[in-house]
Amino acid sequence: MSAPVNGGTIPAVASATQIRLLGWLVLLIAGFAVFAATLGTDGTPDFKIYHHYNGFAALHQRSALDVVPAQMQTNFFPGLDRIYYLLFDALNNQPVLLNMLLSVPYGVAAFLAFLIARLFAGRPSVATDLVCAACAVLGLTGAGGLPTLATTMSDIVPGVPFLAALTVWLYLEADNRHTVWSALAIGLCAGLSVGLKLTLAPLFVGLFVAIVLRRGVSQVRAGALQAFVFGLGGLATFAFVDAGWLLGNWHAYGNPIFPFMNQVFKSDYVDHSPWSDLRFMPKTVKMALFYPAYWAFLTTHLAIELDMRDGRILVGLLGAIILLAGALFHMVRRPAGNDLNGKVTAGLALALTFLISYVLWEKLWSIYRYLSVTETISGAVLLAGLVQWGGARPKWFWPLILTTATIVTVMTTTRYPWWSRAHRADQAIAITLPPLEPDAMVVFLDSYAYSYLVPSFPGSVKVVGANNNFIRPGSWGKLQALAEATINGHQGPFWGFEFPKAFPGDADKTLAFYHLERDGACVPLVSNIEDQTVINICRLRRTQE
């Protein structure tokens, strides 16, 4: 039977497939939205440290007033943070709706992972679709991604353009329908993810290499041309999104990615060091080789700040290795002059993207949260590997059964690093402060994450992060000199924020350095994002000399 469309006909099965796919998209988006509605709004460390402030600062031109209130992260790219701030500002009185809206990229990412799995699962059926959906849910409920659902800390949101690019590339590859123009379009899309979050660059590089090598050594030249165009597209999008930020950093500090790689650019604003977080790098060669097994079988914080256990990356790597081995087998066994099957080359591209992005991640950062997008496709990679190994014919159900069993095992043994969230309230951000004078200066006296409070201050209040992970009393560099000049030259009232329980004695050292002291009793911050009596707000005065 056929259904009329624009005067012609299409097979009814095609229409049914489209309806079924739309149904899965709606179901996945709705599922994550419902779960997000049960959670508190964003109160994660990165929200408090810099995401909320950076969006506010970019929209309100705070650079002339403040000195690193968001610590080192004050200078991070604020592209997405602008959008986040506008959403929080517009929907502050509707926290449930805000959470549901922020969860939509998870549903979209899950649908893209579902489509990738579906490409390799064999003939579409209710059974294969269910397994593909399970692969998608596995990927989006990992220890990297799920705890950051509906928060500004999530890597899934900037990762969606890359996942879309990867999905389209794999489908075109399977049908052998690639052109340089499609490579350019996909590069433009994938480059957006890198522009929004630099830590997604390993995935872009992984797909770049995969495009070069997916058809084997004998066709590297054709792959290299497409990869070159793909790279140009990605570079163009990255430049469009980030050029203003890079040039601004260069003009202000002499380092376009300030403060990173400052051992190369040697900006005198801070120490000439890399400013990289190397806490989670593998400690031994053995650990580097088997790093994912540590998180899969042990509850550990080797690669993240909180304890976790998760086997997703391990099973994804196993699936990628199977895909790679299967592709090499097909290359060796194919008759001379015959092209590889499109599903084989698509599988090889998927495997190379996964493997290369993981290796680069481990070499550069080894911070588990930066694997969230790679984690998203882990189930699809596993399914693709098992199907290639066991065959995709309808009578061979064991790859689907083994995939399902693995998914159940991984999901039931996962231990999540649940980040802090705001307490449920009528507002997403509910803060009560003492009355700060319009001509006041607020000094953050220790390293706690206070910058999310700045949008609640009067607009003319100046803020200085005087003792944090970037500058400290007496440290070297022009930023510290700027902090000293700003505090010493201020003529209005002073307020100090401190967290004495977490940073005992730090506030006292800052006050002594700047010749300030507390003026009367301090009051606790009242906020749904903090526990009560944690943060003290103190009126300050200059010491009598």
d(CA 401, CA 131): 9
Residue 46 parent element (H or E): helix 45-46
Q: Nearest-5° angle of CA 158, CA 162, CA 168?
A: 145
Q: Tell me how far apart the alpha carbons of residues 189 and 377 are, in angstroms, rounded to a whole number.
A: 18
Same domain (yes/no): 398, 521: no
Contact 85, 53 (CB under 8 A): no
Domain end call among 413, 439, 458: 413
The DSSP bridge pattern shows strands 516-518 and 526-527 to be unpaired
- Cis check: omega of the bond before 259, within 30 degrees of 0: yes
- Quick one: CA torsion of 220, 225, 226, 232, rounded to 10 degrees? 140
Q: Which of 385, 413, 441 is the last residue of a domain?
A: 413
pLDDT at residue 3, rounded to an integer: 43
Residues 6+ apart with CB under 8 A from 377: 113, 116, 139, 163, 166, 316, 350, 354
Tell me: do 436 and 403 sit in the same domain.
Answer: no
- Report the DSSP beta bridge partners of residue 42: 421
Same domain, 278 and 388: yes
Task: Answer yes or no: is 232 within a domain.
Answer: yes
CA angle, corner 209, sides to 207 and 213, nearest 5?
115
What's the pLDDT score for residue 333?
78
Q: Which two tokens stand for residue 338?
A: 């015959």
| Cis peptide upstream of residue 95 (ω within 30 degrees of 0) | no
**Are 386 and 449 in a shared domain?**
no
pLDDT at 6 (0 to 100): 43
| 312-333 and 398-413 helices, crossing angle to 10° | 150
Indicate whether 388 and 439 sit together in one domain: no
Residue 249 backbone dihedrals phi, psi, to 5 degrees: -65, -40
Q: Tell me whether residue 426 is in a domain.
A: no
Do residues 439 and 402 both lie within one domain?
Answer: no
**47 and 129 assigned to the same domain:** yes
What global pTM score does this model have?
0.94
Of 489, 537, 496, 500, the residue nearest 517 (C-alpha): 496
249 lies in a domain? yes
* Residue 386 Ramachandran class (φ > 0 left, ψ -120 to 50 alpha, else beta): alpha
Structure tokens at 153: 């800390």
Tokens encoding 96: 């449930």
Determine the pLDDT at residue 338.
61
229 and 139 in a single domain? The answer is yes
Output the DSSP codes for 393-436: -TT--HHHHHHHHHHHHHHHH-B-----BPPP-SSSS-EE----
Tell me the DSSP string of 152-200.
TT-SHHHHHHHHHHHHHHHHHHHTT---HHHHHHHHHHHHHHHHH-GGG
Kindly state whether residues 495 and 527 are assigned to the same domain: yes
Residue 1 lies in a domain: no
Task: Let me know if residue 201 belongs to a domain.
Answer: yes
Placement of tokens 């607020």 in the chain: 442
pLDDT reported for residue 396: 56
Per-residue confidence (pLDDT) for residue 9, from 0 to 100: 42
Are 364 and 436 in the same domain?
A: no
- Candidates 346, 431, 304, 362; CA nearest to 45 is 304
Cα distances (Å, whole numbers) of residue 471 to 272, 349, 444, 494: 13, 45, 12, 20
Structurally, the chain folds into a number of domains equal to 2
**CA gyration radius, the chain:** 26
Residues in the chain where the model's pLDDT stays below 70: 1-14, 217-218, 335-339, 391-396, 545
Verify that 180 and 247 share a domain, yes or no: yes
Domain that holds residue 230: 20-413
Residue 425 located in a structural domain: no
CA nearest 450: which of 435, 436, 466, 437? 466
- Other beta carbons within 10 angstroms of residue 295's beta carbon come to 25
Same domain for 333 and 292:
yes
The answer to whether position 11 is within a domain reads no
Please write down the long-range contacts of 28-32, taking CB distance under 8 Å and 24 or more positions apart: 28/107, 28/110, 28/111, 28/114, 28/133, 28/136, 28/137, 29/103, 29/104, 29/107, 29/108, 29/111, 30/107, 31/107, 31/137, 32/103, 32/104, 32/106, 32/107, 32/110, 32/140, 32/149
Is 10 within the bounds of a domain? no
